[in-house]
Amino acid sequence: MAARGPGRPRFGIPCYVCGERRNIQQMRHIHGDHATEEVREISIFRRHEFNADPLVINNETRICFRCSNSIRDEIAILQANPMAMRVNGLKQTRNNTCFLCNAVGDLHRLSIECKVEVFIQCNIFFPETVRSCAQHLDRRGHLLLILLADLQSINRPYIIPGQYLQRLMQAMRDCSLQRRRIDDIEDLSDDQELVLTSFTKQ
């Protein structure tokens, strides 16, 4: 409704998701016939991602057009693509520059091992095409540890190409097996380790 309710601040009302204040005409209801259960669920999830306190949704709750359109886009992608899955994807400003500093020269596509490491450490999915400058990588081609804390992600649907998914799964398996071998050695008693290491030296 265009009419402003009694007692409502003149400068608009906050979006339930992003918190930006807008005129009520630029907001959509989140509750009732206009919104599906899915819109509500995604709104709650996104509000959490904005680090806002939980808030009960009622008849007055509204979201801005930008959040509303973005949520509807997400639902449409998932409905149109049964292969799409929602993951915490890397937040990038552009997709043809270094994802950290936006430089354009001397870029390296990140190795699959590097992406698996970030996924394990930070739960952030890197699309196949992500590239960075050499200066952000260590000698193995992994991102410098100090950079991991600043990576930002956004939870949205992705269609992960099958071959890429297969390579990721293989690299995760390799990584897990490598760690298990290290754990296995650490689990051995001194006697067992002596037998094993003398055996492998032969």
Pairing assessment for the beta strands 107-109 and 27-29 based on DSSP bridges: unpaired
Nearer to Zn ion, 88 or 132 (CB): 132
Q: How far, in Å, CA of 49 to CA of 27, rounded?
A: 20
By CB under 5 A, tell whether 39 contacts Zn ion: no
CB of 199 to Zn ion, least distance (A): 46
Task: Rank residues 64 and 118 by Cβ distance to Zn ion and give the closer one.
Answer: 64
With CB under 5 A as the contact rule, the residue among 39, 110, 124, 133 that binds Zn ion is: 133
Residue 42 beta carbon to Zn ion: minimum distance, rounded to whole angstroms: 12
| Cα 202 from Cα 191, distance rounded (Å) | 17
How many helices (H) and strands (E) in the chain?
A: 6, 8
Question: Residue 125: which of 91, 162, 161, 84 has the closest Cα?
Answer: 91
Determine the distance from the C-alpha atom of residue 56 to the mean position of all C-alpha atoms in its chain, rounded to a whole number. 25
Position 98 contacts Zn ion (CB under 5 A): yes
The answer to whether 100 contacts Zn ion (rule: CB under 5 A) is yes
CB of residue 96 to Zn ion, shortest distance in Å: 13
Interface with Zn ion, residue 151, by CB under 5 A: no
